[in-house]
A and B are shown apart, each in its own frame.
Chain A
Amino acid sequence: MATDLRPAYAEIDEELFDVDQIPRTSRDLRSVGEMLFDVDYLGRQLLMDVAGDDAGPLLRGWPTTVATAEDLWAALPGRRPGVDERDRPITRLSAQAATIESSLANPRAWPGQGPIDPRMSQMAETLISATSLVRRYGGEIRHERTEAHRDLEAARTRIMHGLYVTAHALNVALHEHGRERVKDARVTGRRVNLAQHHSPYAVAPTGVWVDRMTACETTARSYLAGRFIQALAGEAFRPVADPGRLAQALAGWDIQSHRALAGNLTSANLLLIARTQGLIAGAGMVLVDAAAAAGILEPSERLKPAIAEAGRSWSSLASRWGDLAPPGARLEVPLAGAAAEVRAAFREITHDTTTLASPGMIAARPGLKQAMTATLGALEAGSELAHDVADEADAPNLTGPARPLSRRAQNDIEAGLATPDPDGDIVWVSPADILAKRIVPLPPPVAEALRRASAATIDAARWAASVSSVTAPNPAAKCDPPELSVGDPRQHPVPGPALSRSPRR
């Protein structure tokens, strides 16, 4: 069956010269492990290069890919009789894909009939080839042996990992497709229905597909994270409808950053806090422009400059803490999780594909007023956080890698940011420490400049806080964008659990 699907060698000349294609010959010499490696490779390439136009063709190919993966899973030796917890994720994925296939059969609904993405087909064909090999030679494997057992577990992980990466890519494509439809609607003045979950770009017809693919992604991810049972029990996920994601993210960040600062924080974590505060300020500037365009905020000559100054100060301070944070430094897990959620929540509203959306486009998105209110609140809270971070700069035992600290000390002296040594131009970090890449105490000029940068951040954050505190979104402004109507979520039932973490879009 697998060999029937492969073209003859002479027919694939073009593919042989395409670096993104895995050459397939009529005699496939790859092992099962290599084939699974190729499925993983194809999934990664897809995710790195996926676009909105790919959504339909990818969706059409998803059920077959899952079915072939399930076939391979079932063919692997050592399957235990009866219902096995280990097999439940692939069974569930298969059921989810079957309902997707059934919906795809409706020719009147998007995406309708059409081609299947060749990358998805290539994955399915590779899985079929692997299944053929396993069926042919699997009986010879003594699966009760430790090494064989481990190899089989690795194979299952590879299968599920490939499906996870591919489901995530499909989700990214669906969101891109939604964005493009919203853009088109704005250009033509046409009305489109927006789904009220996951993303302000989830156009109603694709919103249901986003839900379904999110459920598939969740199933695969939960297997890989070793918590499928918890996922089934509904403990690992939060509700689907989440219009206040940014407000929740910023509230979570406020709590986690204060908790972290109450403990003994490393430079790596202080770097994270300062960079995240800089991100909040930068995204706040973007939202201010959009809110002004939408009539949500009264034009203010002070607000944006104040936020910009706060952003610059936090970033400048962050670069100094960055000198102290060595590669491989660990972050507080709750703090990193909160920062990641802030980033993801802002991206949903401020970004268009990989870069910033225009103020006009952001103004047309639902939830802008809520996002603006939450961001102004976060900027107000930033003043207190700046004081807490500044306290850390006074710690007597700060250390960092020798080379960046040496460079920073010289630069700070030359720039007049720190007091020079009375003896003139001296070496602040010994060449031996630099050569040996040692961790050294902070040279006095670096410590002095760090304290000054912290004080400057306090001033800038205080200014942004005071302006933000007297700025409030216009209560009379509409919450929903004027030219886009919001679809009735009751028309779009949610088929499965949602990700606690939406795909990065």
Chain B
Amino acid sequence: MTTAAADETWERLGAIAQLLHRASSEVWSAADQAAPDSPLHDLGLGVYLAHSQASALMPEDHVLPEVDLEERTALQLLTEAEKLTRALPLHRPDLVAGSQLVVDLCDLIREARGLGY
């Protein structure tokens, strides 16, 4: 793998992590305004766990890229993260967990839509 390709992959994963971190904050913020038994708590936890999956795929010392996160709903952030996963080289041995991340993101998008996002 070339350095450029590696950089592009890490940048992509870094952007995904940024988007998912913000999405989890957005969902939890709404959940904290709702009742303790709101399903939003569950969705927020799912998004945060997906964020940790994306983070675990990157080198530990990788500096996250700047990403425009303003004025987007949690669903838009999730959808954007999913789009960024489409070009990930999932065949690489260090990205074997990438398929699981894709499936989890699609599940979360379906759940977010079901909760009215």
A residues apposed to B, CB below 8 Å: 37, 40-41, 44, 47-50, 150, 153-154, 156-158, 161, 164-165, 168-169, 172, 221, 224-226, 268, 271-272, 275-276, 278-279, 281-283, 285-286, 307-308, 311-312, 315-316, 318-319, 322, 327-331, 333, 336, 339-340, 343, 346-347, 351, 353-356, 503-504
Contact = CB atoms under 8 A, between A and B. Distances in A.
Contacts of B48: 271-272, 275
Given A48-B109, A285-B36, A354-B115, 8 more contacts: A41-B86, A48-B113, A172-B107, A275-B28, A315-B28, A331-B52, A339-B49, A354-B111
B12 interface: no
Given A315-B31, A327-B21, A221 B45 contact: no
The 7 closest A-B pairs by CB, nearest first: A354-B114, A311-B36, A157-B91, A327-B21, A47-B106, A331-B52, A285-B37
A303 to B, nearest CB: 13
A279 B17 contact: no
Contact of A330 (B38, B60, B109, B115): B60
B58 A356 contact: no
A339 B45 contact: yes
17 contacts: A48-B110, A50-B110, A161-B102, A165-B102, A224-B100, A272-B48, A275-B45, A276-B45, A279-B42, A307-B36, A308-B35, A315-B41, A327-B51, A328-B58, A329-B52, A354-B39, A354-B113
Interface string B44-64: 111011011001101010101
Nearest to A157: B91
A379 to B, nearest CB: 12
What is the predominant secondary structure among interface residues of chain A facing chain B? helix
Contact of A336 (B18, B52, B60, B86): B52
Nearest to A226: B96
Contact of A278 (B17, B41, B99, B107): B41
A282 B86 contact: no
Contacts of B37: 282-283, 285-286, 308, 311, 356
B110 A154 contact: no
Interface in B1-30: 14, 17-18, 21-22, 25, 28-29
A343 B103 CA distance: 16
